[in-house]
Amino acid sequence: MASEALQELIAGMRAGGPDFSADPVQARADFEALLATMPADPQVTFTAAQLAGVPTLEADTGKADAGALLYLHGGAYIAGSAAGYRGLAAEIGKVLGLPTHAIDYRLAPEAPFPAAVYDAVAAYRELLARGVPASRIVIAGDSAGGGLALATLVYLKQEGIDLPAAGYLLSPWADLSCSHPLIDAKSNADPALDKAGLIASAAHYLGDQDADHPLASPVNADLSGLPPLLVQVGSSEILLGDAVMVAERAGAAETHVRLEIYPEMLHVFQSFHFLLPEGRAALDGAGAFLKACMEGPNG
């Protein structure tokens, strides 16, 4: 049975939210207004900066020489911002003990695929250029940012660039064709996302590109040779199938995968770590798993 906090959260989401199937600029503004209501740890200091020309928000969540968390926010590739996700990004940096770099990759429709991938890759390479060891970097992202994190890992591997210690994908959107049967099966259960919004956003991001392109929908990429992946997803979201596909295909390709499915949880429930014990537990468990990856054979 859902906790009172979860029930209130769901009721609030059902009462209304940004419409990703309508005008993308309006959706972006509405989504940003929603994100502005999310708290961030007042103990954390955030600083505007940049990595290779990509705007970032840095958070002092770890010692400067400890490594780096590269965070890629959600928002269906058309919305969201490093500032809007600073609370979640900083919580992840805290459980990892790593300084946080949340990046403002370019958004569609103004900057369609592969602009976001290029920005994430450029930011990661800049971290390496500054002397951060790859084995002390974690790339994380939620929703579209989770798919983007996986696409970034695939791109880095293809280019022979040193890979980070791990990838952490929160409710990743990794198949822009939106074809998994659980999208329809979970449509009534999901208070946050709808298929029409995903399809419209995918069209903005893809432009003329095919939805099956492996760097747009990394479930279609060669997922061998990647660092360990932690995938967390709620059972009450239409992207459950995307998370399962990532786990199955990466695992079949000999990549170490842990998939965690949380009952009754909704899209990127870790954002509500301050309300939902499940969100807090998921972040703490992620910290333990990812720190072990940094201490692993490549750490």
User: Which residues sit at the interface with its own copies, rule CB under 8 A?
Assistant: 182, 185-186, 233, 235-236, 240-241, 244, 247-248, 250-264
Quick one: tokens of 77? 């590739």
Shortest Å distance, C-beta 41 to its own copies: 25
| Residue 196 neighbours by CB distance under 10 Å | 14
DSSP class per residue in 17-66: ---TTS-HHHHHHHHHHHHTTS---TT--EEEEEETTEEEEEE--S-TTS
199 or 244: CB nearest its own copies? 244
132 or 182: CB nearest its own copies? 182
Supply the residues annotated as catalytic: 143, 237, 267
Type and span of the H or E element at 125:
helix 115-129
17 or 251: CB nearest its own copies? 251
Shortest Å distance, C-beta 263 to its own copies: 4
127 or 240: CB nearest its own copies? 240
- Cα 152 from Cα 144, distance rounded (Å): 12
Shortest Å distance, C-beta 258 to its own copies: 5
Beta strands in the chain (DSSP E): 46-51, 54-59, 68-72, 100-103, 137-142, 166-170, 229-234, 257-262
The span from the first CA to the last CA of the chain, in angstroms, equals 41
In the chain, how long is the greatest CA-to-CA distance? Answer: 49
39 or 277: CB nearest its own copies? 277
Quick one: tokens of 129? 């250029």
- Cα 253 from Cα 232, distance rounded (Å): 19
